[in-house]
Amino acid sequence: MKLCKFLPFILLLLLCNLGNAQYLELSPEKAPLNWFNLDYTENGVRGISTERAYREFLNNKTSKSVLVAIIDSGIDINHEDLVDNIWVNTREIPNNGIDDDGNGYVDDINGWDFLGGKDGTDIARETMEVTREYARLKKIYQYIQDIASLSPAMKAEYDLYKKYKAKYEAKVQELQEQGPFVIKLYEKYIDSKLILSSHLKVRDVTKEDLNKITVKDPDEVRKAKRVFELLEQIGQDEDKLKEAYEYYDAQFKFGINLSFNPRGIVGDDVENVNDRDYGNNEVKGPDARHGTHVAGIVAANRNNSLGIAGVANNVKIMAIRAVPEGDERDKDVANAIRYAVDNGAKIINMSFGKSVSPQKQAVDEAVRYAQSKGVLLIHAAGNENENIDISDNYPSKKFADGKMAENWLEVGATSWMQPPSAVAEFSNYGHKTVDVFAPGVDLKSTVVGSQYEDLSGTSMAAPVVTGLAAMLMSYYPDFDYRKIKQIILNSSTKLSKLKVSQPGTGELVDFSLLSSSGGIVNAYEAVKLAEQEMKFLTKK
């Protein structure tokens, strides 16, 4: 599942708790433009000091291009602020229907789509992984009564069936408690908009238009006005409400639908993790909003006057589509990692995750393969405001055998707001599992059609760190992934005495308890430390 925060749960809490100040204190001001690249001492927001790093350390330095793979929903490779920074596979002759470079993928000019069919069609929606696993096991075990007669392997699988059944039913209950309310509210809003537009004879209803409505107007018009006023009061608008509606609508139609299975579009053997001959070269896909936003944070052109500035200024983006609207499949994730490694990526951004991983071994093997080739993996920690030291969250740096990936950074999200709201209220955390935090609330970045949008999520925090890693690899090419990871963690801004609201509980805790480093990444400090490391190596 793409880890962008679409705010359905926040919206519901806002609507149901109008008298509760903790929900109304969302944001009295707007996030400063480009805040994730700004400096705390200079600008008053805890960005990562990117601009300061370039200005004070890197302006006169030469850099080497770094290839970054983004495994996501797809990327609009023709976006005005990305087009110059998209990887081109020069070993492949475009659109000749031949695998010119012999890598197993025909016409993979800018990357690959593991959700595509050979006829050019694409998967847009998928179920949740727990839905798929529950549906699979239900066929086998729903009528089993004599548990004692099962083999040890079947008993273990039966236990999984019970576990997934409970998780699935809990998710269904959660959606049924919240979804109908949001869906009804959105439908009420649309009806109200039609009433007001017709009455006021305007296309878009403004605050000034609403002020024209008086007690003399028809009752239905005054009721429609109150719906608009309610949304304004709680800091919401049509776009956010529509997103919440679409989230719940998709969950009911696809996410928890036990009979929905779009995999026939791809035409592969989904259970065969060794099968890699599938997909197509259409890297944009049907909904590239999320992946395009992630790509912009890493690599939006810093040398033009358009839109935004990404963190890294000498980077090429390899687009790999493996994440639908719904839960990604382990097989696709494993193959996407291998594709990135085999085609030269040095860093892989993974802004997605889920709570069930039936083919974890395949992903583990791909992560180990990436580590053997010196590739750094950066993963978003997730948006469930949970402690992932104890909650399942995949993919993960912990292998099934208990060992840990050395080439992995797990990233939580911070806000531009001051303490105690400095940590994103949705972010997962974990003193052992999350490595570091980075800006992830209200980040403006690229979206489809050469547009720009503010989005929030650990999905946005991970590419901030990816951009920083690419910056360091670009200017300090002699450093391997171990050194880059070490510099990022050691140079992070430690806020050991800062009290923040713990996501999910609201309890005030030391920020240092939410990750292993206790810090927020900082490009200025990272480059300064890299300079010190280079001087040390030169002396040796």
pLDDT at 4: 57
Averaged pLDDT score across all residues of the chain: 93
Output 352 or 496, whichever has higher pLDDT: 352
pLDDT at 428: 98
Contact 90, 226 (CB under 8 A): no
Average pLDDT over residues 513-526: 98
Q: Which residues contact 474 (CB under 8 A, 6 or more apart)?
A: 63, 64, 65, 66, 312, 313, 314, 315
Residues 6+ apart with CB under 8 A from 229: 210
Six-digit token pair at 27?
């944001």
Closest by Cα among 499, 1, 63 to 314 = 63
**Measured between alpha carbons, how far is 57 from 368 in angstroms, rounded to an integer?**
34
Which residue would you say has higher pLDDT here, 8 or 52?
A: 52
List pLDDT tens digits, range 178-229: 899 999 999 999 999 999 999 999 999 998 999 999 999 999 999 999 999 9
Peptide bond into 180 cis (omega under 30): no
Which of 106-115, 237-246, 355-364, 427-436 bottoms out in mean pLDDT, i.e. has the lowest? 237-246
- The predicted structure's pLDDT at residue 441: 96
Its sign, for the CA torsion 92, 97, 102, 105, is positive
Could you tell me the two tokens for 300? 């939006």
Helix/strand/coil for 372: helix
Burial call 122-150: b when 16+ CB within 10 Å, e when fewer: bbbbbbbbbbbbbbbbeeebeeeeeeeee
Count CA within 13 A, CB hemisphere, residue 18. 8
Answer whether the bond into residue 395 is a cis peptide, omega within 30°. yes
pLDDT tens sequence across 388-442:
999 999 999 999 999 999 999 999 999 999 999 999 999 999 999 999 999 999 9
The encoded tokens of residue 473 equal 């690899």
Name the residue type at position 164.
Y
Least confident stretch, 2-6, 88-92, 503-507: 2-6
Model pLDDT, residue 535: 84
- Residues 46, 493: Cα–Cα separation, whole Å: 9
Q: Strand, helix or coil at 91?
A: coil
Q: Give the CA dihedral 427, 428, 434, 437, nearest 10 degrees.
A: 10
Cα R_g (the chain), whole angstroms: 24
Q: Which residues are 317's β-sheet partners?
A: 68, 86
pLDDT-based confidence at residue 14 (cuts at 50, 70, 90): very low
Confidence (pLDDT) at 16 = 37
The full set of domains in the chain, from first to last, is: 31-127+261-539 (3.40.50.200), 129-255 (no CATH)
Lowest mean pLDDT among 4-18, 65-79, 300-314, 429-443: 4-18
Give the number of other CB atoms < 10 A from CB of residue 272: 10
- Of residues 27 and 288, more confidence is placed in 288
Q: How sure is the predictor about 295, in pLDDT bands with cuts at 50, 70 and 90?
A: very high
The pLDDT of residue 3: 61
Assess whether pLDDT exceeds 90 at residue 509: yes
- Whether residue 6 has pLDDT greater than 90: no
Model pLDDT, residue 15: 38
Q: What is the pLDDT of residue 27?
A: 41
pLDDT of residue 19: 28
| Residue of higher predicted confidence among 326 and 10 | 326
CA distance 457 to 75: 18
* Model confidence at 283: pLDDT above 70: yes
Q: Which residues lie across from 67 on neighbouring strands?
A: 316
End-to-end CA distance of the chain: 47
Global pTM reads 0.92
Is a pLDDT exceeding 60 seen at residue 20? Answer: no
| pLDDT score, position 407 | 98
Q: Is the pLDDT of residue 540 over 90?
A: no
Closest to 145 (Cα-Cα) out of 158, 157, 163, 132: 158
